[in-house]
Amino acid sequence: MNTPHTPRALDTDQARTRLHELVVLDVRTPGEYATGHLPGALNIPLDHLHQALPDIRHAARHADLLVVCASGARSENACRTLAAEGITTATLTGGTTAWAADGHALHHPGRTRHSAWDMERQVRLTAGAVVLTGLVLGRLRPVFRLASAGIAGGLVYSALTNTCGMAALLAKLPHNHPHQGDLEETLAALRTG
């Protein structure tokens, strides 16, 4: 059960020593989750968090919750959302990237479908493609350079606010959505855990 002394953030060593007593929620896309996740982590993509609230609330009555993503930004967002619903959580400082960098093992499930890129890579590809296209087409019509300027402004805003609108849009693409059965299995695990 959650206690008042539960920290809002755990570093990778703190999380590793408590992993056996935590319910770990990975809020990355299913494709990112499939590339490697903390052992025992359950995948609830950030855009499905509200759908999972009853089951997350149930799990929080029985164990402390640790929310993880790739770098910590999406998990912090998820923690704020859950806190607004009265659910106490902690986030993993630095996310799965820090976990792996500190030498802790990631679980790599058997893949039955193609492996999706992690969200950061998808954002870099999309931003780079739009900027490059804007610059190339800008040689024909200068107005196309506005697309490049828009992406540059979006990247600055993203860094200042620690949010990413492009990632939110890319998360809506079909390859970034869980199969309905996968999400149902995750929610059932929260109810029975």
| Catalytic site positions | 69
List, in sequence order, every beta strand (DSSP E) within the chain.
9-10, 22-26, 42-43, 64-68, 90-92
Task: Give the Cα separation of 44 and 184 in Å (integer).
Answer: 10
Task: Give the Cα separation of 35 and 126 in Å (integer).
Answer: 20
* Residue pair 47/181 in contact by the 8 Å Cβ criterion: no
Sign of the CA dihedral running 107, 112, 115, 116: negative
